[in-house]
Structure 1
Amino acid sequence: MKEEPGLPEHDHDRCSTLRALLRRVSRLARMAAFSALASVAHAQGAADAPVGPSVALYYGANPPVEELSAFDVVVVDPDAHFNPRAHAKAHPAWFAYVSVGEVNPHRAYYSAMPSAWLLTVNEAWASHVVDQTAADWPAFFVDKVIAPLWKKGFRGFFLDTLDSYHLVAKTAATRAAQEAGLVRVIRAIKTRYPRAKLIFNRGFEVLPQVHDLAYVVAFESLYRGWDAGKQRYTEVPQADRDWLLAQAATVRGQYRLPVLAIDYCSPADDACATETTARIAQAGIMPYVTDGGLATVGVGLTGRQ
C-alpha cells in the first residue's frame, strides 16, 4: 500500500505502527485458529494426543519474541545475534541450532577444521559433510560449537544433519563407523554439559545407544516438504510418510520420547498450513509448519508444557 502524498511525518509513523500491529494480530489469530482446528481434528480422529513440548523454529534475524512466546521451546540460529539471556524471563526455552553432520563455510569454526574431516559437499545446502569417525571431532564440536553457545546462555540444542553421513557411507561397515562417531559426539555434549537438553533431528539409527540423552526427537517433511535445490514446496510420497510414521511409533512407544514433525508450506498458503497442522496432530505427533527458510513464525499446537 502506497503512502498518501502530503501526510505529516508523525502520521506516516502512526500508520506504519498500526500496520505492524495489525500484521502481528493477524499472525497471532492465525496461530490460535490453526492450533484450535488441529486440536479439534485430532480429538475427532486420533487415539493418542500429541505429547511433549510445543516447539517452534525461527532462523531469521531478530526473532519476534512476543509471537514466539506461545511456544514452550524456540530454536534459533545462533548466528542471528540473538541474546537468550536478554529474554530469559520469556516463556520459551531458547535452543540453539547446531549442525553435527555438516558444516557451512560461514560458520566461525569452519576455518579451524582440518580438511581431512570434510568428506564431500551437499550441493543443496552448499555445506560440507563431516567425517564422524575423526578422533578429535567430538572434543572439537564441544569446544568450538557448544561451549561458546553455552557461555551465551543457551541451555538447549537442536542437533541437525544427524543423517548426512548417508551421503558418503554406502556399506554397512562405513555406516556403523559413522554412527559410532555420532554417538561419541552426542555423549561428549552431555558429559560436558549434563543439564543440556538435546533435540535430535532424525538420528533414528543411533537412538538405541543414546535415546536416554534426547529431550525430543524431530524429523522433517511428514506431509509437506521443502526442496532446497529446486526452491519449491513438495508433497511427501506415501512410502516416505509411512516410513517416518513407523519411526515415530518406535520413538514414542519404545523410547517414550516426544516426537515433533516439521513440515513446510508457503507462508501465503493458509490452507496448506491449516490442513498440514491438523494431519500431523491426527497422527499423535506435535506439529510445526513453517516456510522453507524458517524465517517466519509458523503454526503448531501451542501452549503445551
Structure 2
Amino acid sequence: MRGFSEQHNSGSGGANGRGHAVGNCAIVLMVALFSFSALIPLRLFAGNERRISSWACYYGSENITRNLSRFDLAVLAPGGQDPAPLRKAGIKTLVYVSAGEVSADGPYYEEARNHGLLIRHNENWDSWVVDLRDPAWKELFFERIIPDALEDGYDGIFIDTLDSPLDMHRRDPDNFKGMERSAVELIKRIRKRYPRLLVAQNRGFEISQRSAPFIDYLLIEGLSSLMELSSGERFDVSPKDREFLLVKATEALKANPSLTLLSLDYVPSGDAPTMEKVYEFSRSKGFVPFISVPALDRVFENHPGS
C-alpha cells in the first residue's frame, strides 16, 4: 500500500500494496476445510495502549490534524502530516516503513543498488524489491531506514511491502530460499529493538501466523473493495479471495489473541452506499475498518464510524 515516494515516498499499505491486483489473495488454498462465517467478534484488546476502535491512513502532506483527530490511530508518511499535535491529542501515530522495497527516487536506492540488494523492479510504483536475507539490507534497514522514519516522533511503525520479497520466494523457492525466515526474523528483531513501540504489519500472509506474536496490528488490505490504479474503477473482492483473507486473519489471531485486526478498503469518494456496506462487513468480522482511495492522500469527512 503506497501512495507517496519512499521515505517521502515508498504497503499494501501506506497501504495500497503494489497495484492492488488481488494476486496474493488468489492463491488456491483448501478453503473448503475452513468454513468461517465470522471471526472472533470485536473485543477489548489487552493493553490500553493498543486498544482502538477507529483508525486512518493518510500519506498526504497537508495538515489535516482536525480531521485525523476523530480517529484513535493514524498511519502517516515520513515527512508528511506532523504527528506531534495528534499525539498531544491522544491519537496513536505510526510511521510508514517499507521493509521489502526501496523507491527508485528515494534516499536509500543508491546504497541498496551499490550493495547488490535489488532483485526485481516493481513497475507499479517504480520501486525495487530487495533481498531481505542480505546482511547489508538488515544493516541499512535497522541503522538508517527505521531511525530516519522515527525521527519526528511516533508511537510506532507500520511495516509495508513484505509481500514483495515473499512473492520472490513463492515464484522461485530454490533461488530465494530463506526469504520467509528472514522476514520473520526482521519482525522479531523490530520487536526486540523497540519493545515499547507499537508495530503494525500489512499483509505478508506467508508469515503472518509466525509474526503475529510480535506485532500489535495486522492489516488486511482489500478485504471487500479495491480500485484499479490506472482507471480508478472499483471492484469487489471475490468471495474466494475474501475467504482466504479471513482464514489468514483467523490464523494470526489464534497465534496472538491480543492482536488487533485492521482492514483497509478502497472506494470512490462519492460512493456512500458502498462505503457503508464495506464498513459494516469489516466490523461484522471483527476488524477495525478504514476506507480511502489508493493514493491514501485524503481522509473522507463522512467516513463511517469515525
TM-score computed with the length of structure 2 as normaliser: 0.77
- Measure the CA separation in 2 of the matches of 1:46 and 1:239: 15
Which has more radius of gyration? 1
| Counterpart pick for 1:282 among 274, 281, 284 | 284
User: In the alignment, what sits opposite 1:251?
Assistant: 252
User: In the alignment, what sits opposite 2:205?
Assistant: 204
Give the secondary structure class of the aligned counterpart of 1:200.
strand
Contact 2:166 2:206 in 1 (8 A): no
Give the secondary structure class of the aligned counterpart of 1:262.
strand
- Measure the CA separation in 1 of the matches of 2:231 and 2:122: 14
Where is the helix percentage greater, Structure 1 or Structure 2? 1
Cα distance, 1:296 vs. partner? 1.4
**Deviation string, structure 1 residues 108-138 (Cα, Å, up to 9, x no partner):** 2222223421111111222111111112212
Cα distance, 1:176 vs. partner? 4.6
Cα distance, 1:76 vs. partner? 0.8
- Measure the CA separation in 2 of the matches of 1:159 and 1:56: 15
Contact 1:95 1:155 in 2 (8 A): yes
Residue 88 (structure 1) aligned with residue 87 (structure 2): yes
Give the secondary structure class of the aligned counterpart of 1:222.
coil
| Counterpart pick for 2:42 among 50, 66, 69 | 50
Q: Higher mean Cα deviation, 190-199 or 263-272?
A: 190-199
**Deviation string, structure 1 residues 35-79 (Cα, Å, up to 9, x no partner):** xxxxxxxxxx97853245222101111241111112111001113
Residue 127 (structure 1) aligned with residue 136 (structure 2): no
User: In the alignment, what sits opposite 1:181?
Assistant: 182
- Measure the CA separation in 2 of the matches of 1:47 and 1:166: 26
Contact 1:74 1:94 in 2 (8 A): yes
Residue 98 (structure 1) aligned with residue 97 (structure 2): yes
Contact 1:71 1:91 in 2 (8 A): no
**Deviation string, structure 1 residues 192-234 (Cα, Å, up to 9, x no partner):** 3221211000123223443222011002111101232554322
- Measure the CA separation in 1 of the matches of 2:204 and 2:268: 27
Identity %: 28
User: In the alignment, what sits opposite 2:72?
Assistant: 72
**Equivalent position amino acid for 2:56 in 1:** A
Cα distance, 1:240 vs. partner? 0.8
Give the secondary structure class of the aligned counterpart of 1:204.
coil
Contact 1:58 1:296 in 2 (8 A): yes
Superposition pairs of residues 207-222 of structure 1, within 5 angstroms: 207-222=208-223
Give the secondary structure class of the aligned counterpart of 1:152.
coil
Could you tell me which runs of 5 or more consecutive residues in structure 2 were left unpaired when the two chains were aligned.
Answer: 1-36, 44-50
RMSD of the alignment, in Å? 2.2
User: In the alignment, what sits opposite 1:161?
Assistant: 161
Residues 161 and 260 (structure 1 numbering): CA distance in 2 closer, same or farther, change over 3 Å?
same
Residues 109 and 86 (structure 1 numbering): CA distance in 2 closer, same or farther, change over 3 Å?
farther
Q: Higher mean Cα deviation, 83-92 or 119-128?
A: 83-92
- Measure the CA separation in 2 of the matches of 1:119 and 1:292: 25
Give the secondary structure class of the aligned counterpart of 1:259.
strand
Counting matched residue pairs gives 257
**Equivalent position amino acid for 2:290 in 1:** Y
Contact 1:59 1:77 in 2 (8 A): yes
Contact 1:74 1:93 in 2 (8 A): yes
Could you tell me which runs of 5 or more consecutive residues in structure 1 were left unpaired when the two chains were aligned.
Answer: 1-44
- Measure the CA separation in 2 of the matches of 1:47 and 1:260: 13
**Deviation string, structure 1 residues 242-269 (Cα, Å, up to 9, x no partner):** 1001111222233211111100000121
- Measure the CA separation in 2 of the matches of 1:178 and 1:230: 33
Residue 273 (structure 1) aligned with residue 275 (structure 2): yes
Superposition pairs of residues 230-249 of structure 1, within 5 angstroms: 230-249=231-250
Contact 1:197 1:214 in 2 (8 A): yes
Give the secondary structure class of the aligned counterpart of 2:280.
helix
Give the secondary structure class of the aligned counterpart of 1:203.
coil
- Measure the CA separation in 1 of the matches of 2:269 and 2:59: 15
- Measure the CA separation in 2 of the matches of 1:297 and 1:178: 35
Contact 1:139 1:188 in 2 (8 A): no
Residues 110 and 151 (structure 1 numbering): CA distance in 2 closer, same or farther, change over 3 Å?
same
- Measure the CA separation in 2 of the matches of 1:46 and 1:205: 21
Contact 1:226 1:234 in 2 (8 A): yes
TM-score computed with the length of structure 1 as normaliser: 0.77
Contact 2:218 2:261 in 1 (8 A): yes
